[in-house]
Amino acid sequence: MYEGKFYRLLHPRPTVVIVTKCPNGRFNLMPASWNTPVSEEPPTIAVAVDKESYTHQCLRHYKYATINVPPIDAADLIYKLGTTSGREVDKAAQFGVKLEPSSKIDVPRMSGALAAYEAEVYKEVEVGEVVLYIFRVLDVWTAPGVADQWGFDFKKVNIPLHGAGRAFYRVDPRPVFAKK
C-alpha cells in the first residue's frame, strides 16, 4: 500500500494565485494547486480552499476573485504567499506584488501573471476540511504572445506545477501526441 499522502500521486498540479477582497479592505493572495476547470457552459473553475484559511473568510465576505496563472519564475513568491497568513500581513505589500485593475470586477489581478480569470462564486460545496469554490468565469485576460487557442506556448513561457512543499516543476515544452 502507498505510504504517502494520497493526493501526491495526483501531483504535480498547476498552481494559481487567488486574489480576494477581504473584510479589512485589503486584497489577499493565496496559491492553490487544487484547482480544475469544471464546465464550459457555464464556464467554471473549481478551487479547494481550507475552511480555516483567511481566503475562505474573504470569499464569504465578498464573492468575487481573480484566479491568476503565474509564471514558473514566481515559485519563490508562490511559496512565500502560501506560507504566510493574510490575517496579519498585507501579502501584496510584504512581498512587493503589484496588482492591476480587472475589467469586469473590482478585485485586481496580479501584475506579471501569464493569465487571469475574473470570477464570481457560483457554488460552494463543503467537503471535509475544505470548501470547493466553483467560480463562474466572467472574463479571461492573457499576457500578449503567451497563448493561442490551444493554451500556453510552452516554448515561450512556463507555469509552476506544484509537487509538495517547496517543490515545483516545469511543463516539458515537447508535446507527446497520441496515435490516431
The enclosing domain of 58 has a CATH number of 2.30.110.10
Residue 156 lies in a domain: yes
Residue 99 lies in a domain: yes
For residue 25, what are the domain limits? 6-169
Residue 57 lies in a domain: yes
CA angle centred on 99, ends 63 and 80, rounded to 5°: 90
Residue 67 lies in a domain: yes
pLDDT at position 101 is 98
Average pLDDT for the chain: 96
Residue 136 lies in a domain: yes
Residue 56 lies in a domain: yes
Tell whether the model's pLDDT for residue 142 goes beyond 90: yes
Count of domains forming the chain:
1
Name the nearest CA neighbour of 143 among 74, 41, 76, 79. 74
Per the confidence metrics, is the pTM higher than 0.85?
yes
* 130 Cβ neighbours under 8 A, 6+ residues apart: 34, 48, 49, 50, 51
Confidence of residue 11 (pLDDT cuts 50, 70, 90): confident
Tell whether the model's pLDDT for residue 5 goes beyond 90: no
Tell whether the model's pLDDT for residue 140 goes beyond 90: yes
State the cell numbers at 41.
457552459
Render pLDDT for 23-72 as a digit per residue (tens, 0 to 9): 999 999 999 999 999 999 999 999 999 999 999 999 999 999 999 999 99
Residue 174 lies in a domain: no
